[in-house]
Structure 1
Amino acid sequence: MTFDSASARFSLPFLYAGQSQKEVFVNEALARCDMLLHPAIEGETDLPPPSPSEGECWLVGMEASGAWNGQAGTLATFQGGNWIFVKPRDGMRVFDLSTRQEQLFWGSWRKASLPMEPLGGSTVDVQARAVIGQLVAALQALGIFPSA
């Protein structure tokens, strides 16, 4: 059995027998795992924050520049004083702390938008509006719809 130098899904580095400085590769793999297990992003931006905290994770915007140039649409985590980038895969989900909402990657990042509330109508519509309002509130609480 032979292996590539990194895993297929998230480029986690593999170790080889007799490899020197294994701790570098293990630490990089652990940093990526830390980023990818239950990922939560601070938000989406085109520029890296000026003073990031260790472990901070961001979704790199489509107009990425500076230290993030060429990394549009990736996840960026600050680990060990450096930015680590991971290209998303279809089906990946992140929780956006700035909007308190989940995002899904399927060719591009997607998130649900808040539906318009129904307007007008008669008495029956009052009850329907109340139920729709409760459904929207429940979906907001679950992070599916953005908070109002």
Structure 2
Amino acid sequence: MMMGDGTMEESARWALPMLFAGQAQKEMQHNEALTLIDALLHGRAESADMTAPPGAPGIGRCWIVAAGATGEWAGQGGAVALWTDGGWRFIAPRAGLRMDVADRDHALFHDGGEWRAVPVRGDGVYIDEKRVVGPRMGTIADPTGGVIIDGEVRSAVSAILVALRGHGLIAR
């Protein structure tokens, strides 16, 4: 938002309040900016699935408001809701914002249009929400023995195992 003299009242990206020479009560603007930065810097949300505010939120805790929100969160779907000693503050997400989400045990990031789950999580790697690499399993032994020895097949299987171990996909 621009002031009459062409200077910005808020930062361009996160709408943090700006300070001006001769401004009264600068500490209020400064504290508001710090409150918003505190919520976003290495952000953590308790949940991204709630449509109503929790009954007893702790100061400094955040939630990503789910679509169809009600009560004090009505109309805030997709926003980051921050509980402060002054009540709820809502932060509109921007492309690149990442929030760890406690009840999902993985992070979400905002792509500029919607929240998306990160592809690399504690239980595997996901593409289009489908797990394509899961937790590492136990060791697979190199091929040995057999009635008929086929050197080419054994060599190919060994090369596959070496590659999988080298990439950390299976145990050594």
**Shorter-chain TM band:** 0.7 to 0.9
CA contact (8 A) 1:42 1:56 kept: yes
Structure with the higher fraction of residues in helix conformation: 1
Give the superposed CA RMSD. Answer: 2.6
Deviation of residue 79 (structure 1)?
1.3
* 2:47 matches 1:43: yes
Deviation of residue 16 (structure 1)?
1.6
Q: Give 1:108's match in structure 2, choosing from 114, 135, 142.
A: 114
Q: 1:34 corresponds to which letter in structure 2?
A: D
Q: Give 1:22's match in structure 2, choosing from 11, 20, 26.
A: 26
Give aligned pairs, total. Answer: 127
Separation in 2 of the partners of 1:92 and 1:31? 16
Give the equivalent residue in structure 1 for 2:57.
52
* 2:80 matches 1:70: no
* Distance verdict in 2 for CA 1:117–1:32, change over 3 Å: closer
Give the % identical residues. Answer: 38
Q: Deviations over 1:8-36 (max 9, x none)?
A: 11110011211111111111000000011
* More off after superposition, 27-36 vs 72-81: 72-81
Runs of 5+ consecutive residues of structure 2 not aligned to the other structure: 120-128, 135-142, 144-156
Q: Deviations over 1:56-103 (max 9, x none)?
A: 100001111111111110001111231111111112111111111011
Which aligned segments of 4 or more residues in structure 1 are displaced greater than 2 angstroms? none
Determine which structure has greater relative contact order: mean sequence separation of CA pairs < 8 Å that are 6+ residues apart, divided by chain length.
Answer: 1
Say which one has the larger Rg.
2
* More off after superposition, 105-114 vs 55-64: 105-114
Q: 1:89 corresponds to which letter in structure 2?
A: R
* More off after superposition, 81-90 vs 49-58: 81-90
Separation in 2 of the partners of 1:116 and 1:42? 27
* Paired residues for 1:101-140 under 5 Å: 101-106=106-111, 107-111=113-117, 112=119, 113-115=129-131, 135=169
Separation in 1 of the partners of 2:72 and 2:25? 27
